[in-house]
Amino acid sequence: MSILSKIIEALTPAPNHSEQEQREYLDGFRRGCPLEGQPDYPIHDSAAYRRGLRYGERAHDKAGRPQIAYEPPN
């Protein structure tokens, strides 16, 4: 399984999570797998945030901590 497919799998929210839990998970993932020039995301005190942070750090470590520039959405 490639790193890209693992990242996509980690970013795909489970259907039984609320919208708030999904947002907290993605905030954690973004903080754990930062891009160059990325804005800061809020820190939450929730299990979803900690899970996202853990998966983001793993994805970043496996990718060799690449320096990819952040591009804001249009």
Domain residues for 40?
3-62
β-sheet bridge partners, residue 69: 36
Q: Are 29 and 55 in contact (CB under 8 A)?
A: yes
**Residues 8-58: pLDDT tens digits?**
777 776 667 788 998 999 889 888 888 888 888 889 999 999 999 999 899
Residue 7 has pLDDT above 60, yes or no: yes
72 vs 74: CA distance, rounded Å: 6
Tell me if 69 is assigned to some domain. no
Tell me if 74 is assigned to some domain. no
Q: Please give the pLDDT value at position 15.
A: 64
Q: Please give the pLDDT value at position 14.
A: 60
Q: Please give the pLDDT value at position 53.
A: 92
Tell me if 18 is assigned to some domain. yes
Q: Quote the number of domains for the chain.
A: 1
Length of the chain in residues, anyone? 74
Q: How far does Cα 38 stand from its chain's mean position?
A: 12
Q: Are 65 and 53 in contact (CB under 8 A)?
A: no
